[in-house]
Structure 1
Amino acid sequence: MVATSTVPKLTLNDWLNNPPPRTEWVDGGLIQKQGMTLKHSKLQRRLSTLWSLYADAQNLGGEVYTEAPCRTQNQGRFPDVAYLTPALLTQYGDAKVLPQSFPLSAEIVSPTDLAEDMIAKAYEYLASGGEEVWLVYPDSRWIIVVTANNKQIFGQGEMAETQKALEGFSISVDTLLA
């Protein structure tokens, strides 16, 4: 996903009241999310389906979203995949924009994304109420799972596991990225 600046005069409150699709409000301006490929879309759908099936099978409740808006400390974001716990769903399920980060978020990393930007985004989610972030690198065949106290890299032949949210969920890196 390459981000390009488009309309810098939009305020964060404007974005929160009516977030334009495929945009994020970052560092004082609106950026257009770009770089969505068939592979990206397939992985987004696959991960959201797997998280949903797991939450249902474990009777965890909550809801899994794709491209749902949230507010981090001073930004407006659309994580590729996100899980909202039952308690937060009860509290904010009808909100236009979640006023904090999702407890579990995933970003599918495009070849044009900078690793530093993705790591910064993960920490941004954690600093805004998130518990766990998955950074999925399809071309490198890595899944990096980040929590406030732990960072793990899962590669080919390994099982990626949630650490906090949707506890107990695991998936073979090879299966997810096939």
Structure 2
Amino acid sequence: MSIEAAAITAEDLAQMSFGEQRVELVRGEVITMAPAGAEHGEIAGFVFGILFSFVRAHNLGSLYAAETGFILARNPDTVRAPDVAFVASERAAQQRGRSGFFEGPPDLAVEVVSPSDTAEDVEAKVLDYLEAGARMVWIVRPRTRTVTVYHSLRAVQVLRPGDLLDGGDVLPGFAVPVAALFGG
């Protein structure tokens, strides 16, 4: 008779210590990730800064920096930590004063692809966000200087540096040249 290890829950994860190691919980299993490189951190910072200015000026909700855990699924639990996340005011207000990870998906999840990320890793994150109810996912690719925008698995758009990235109905009125996300 084999004994299977019990799945880790979001609450278990919140109590664990990993030092400087970055982790996510995927279907009850802790996944470790390499620390982000300088370029990754800089681009995530650009994205956060651009979004922060817009969201704050229009009082749209809350922005969350990297390492903020979002519980995307239960039994087994999945907790993802996007590089940048936006949650609309009504939903963000429901989480205030509550400890632990954010219960539910962000409205917008932004992932900056690192050299160590595989296509399968990125696709799995997109699927997890969208299946949990995220309204939009941006995949920012530094190597190709592109942004892939997912409104759903069927509504996907790839933008290049000369294109304009807009916030759709998630961030109404938001628009920025793609190049700005890469410091240009």
TM-score normalized with structure 2 length: 0.83
Partner of 1:109: 113
- 1:15 counterpart residue number: 13
Q: Secondary structure at the match of 1:145?
A: strand
2:84 is the alignment partner of 1:81: yes
Q: Deviations over 1:81-122 (max 9, x none)?
A: 001111111111233111111111100001221123212211
| Residue number in structure 1 paired with 2:34 | 34
Whether contact under 8 Å (2:22, 2:35) holds in the other structure is no
Describe how 1:93-108 pairs up with structure 2 within 5 A. Answer: 93-95=96-98, 96-108=100-112
1:174 is matched with: 179
* Contact 1:19–1:69 (Cα < 8 Å) also in 2: no
Is contact 2:46-2:182 (8 Å) kept? no
Report the counterpart of residue 64 of structure 1 in structure 2. Answer: 63
Residue type matched to 1:170 in 2?
A
- How many pairs does the alignment contain? 170
- The CA distance in 2 between the partners of 1:56 and 1:27, in whole Å, is 34
CA RMSD across the alignment:
2.0
Greater Cα offset, 97-106 or 26-35: 26-35
Secondary structure of the residue that 1:72 maps to in structure 2?
A: strand
2:144 to 114, 136, 140: 140
* Alignment-derived partner of residue 50 in structure 2: 50
Structure-1 separation of matches of 2:143 and 2:35:
14
Relative distance call for 1:37 and 1:9 in structure 2 (3 A) is farther
> How far is 1:57 from its partner?
2.0
Q: Flag structure 2 segments of 5+ consecutive residues without an equivalent.
A: none
Residue in 2 that maps onto 1:128: 132
Instruction: Give how far 1:19 is off.
Output: 7.6
Q: Distance in 2 between matches of 1:138 and 1:9?
A: 38
Distance, in Å, in 1 between the alignment partners of 2:120 and 2:166 is 23
Shift of residue 9, structure 1, vs aligned partner: 6.4
CA displacement 1:20-70 (0-9 Å, x = unmatched): 56210124321222151111111111111111110122232x111112111
Q: Which deviates more from structure 2 when the two are superposed, residues 127-136 or residues 86-95?
A: 86-95
- Which residue, out of 151, 155, 158, partners 1:153? 158
Q: Give the TM-score, by structure 1 length.
A: 0.86
